[in-house]
Amino acid sequence: MAKPGKTGFARIFDAFFYSMKGFKAVWKHEAAFRQEALLAAILIPLAFFTATSAVELVLLIASVLWVIMAELANSAVEAVVDRTGSERHELSGRAKDIGSALVFVSLALLAIVWVIIIANRFNWLGFLWSV
């Protein structure tokens, strides 16, 4: 059974404003998000100068956006866990740690993509592809 509520363009319109409300909340309450947004503001324009192909450009930008998505998910998990209570609980700690691990993996992915593409551009890894 479908959930009651708006449909069509009205639902999309409302969803956009809910998303903007989410961005506003994460900006206000999460220092890590602000730092990663600054990183994105630097790296996304830099990607246009670094990439030598459309595929490289997509990989560079996608790796940056994945960090933003991971931080949004992590912040949502933290907000829900914090909402349920302030007492320490093993599952609450586990949920927060897993969210943190998600952000860590996304940052590792970003580093791997950027290092390989930059190294390839300057032929620092030529020995790998010369075989």
**89 annotated ligand-binding residue:** yes
End-to-end Cα, the chain, rounded Å: 58
Choosing from 71, 74, 92, 117, which is the catalytic residue? 71
Contact 51, 57 (CB under 8 A): yes
**19 annotated ligand-binding residue:** no
**63 annotated ligand-binding residue:** no
Is 56 catalytic? The answer is no
**21 annotated ligand-binding residue:** no
**Left, alpha or beta for 2 (phi > 0: left; psi -120 to 50: alpha)?**
beta
Planar angle of CA 82, 105, 72, nearest 5 degrees: 40
**71 annotated ligand-binding residue:** yes
Binding site listing for a divalent metal cation: 30, 78
Binding site listing for substrate: 11, 32-36, 71, 100
Binding site listing for ATP: 11, 18, 30, 78, 87-89, 96-97
Give me the active site residues, please: 71
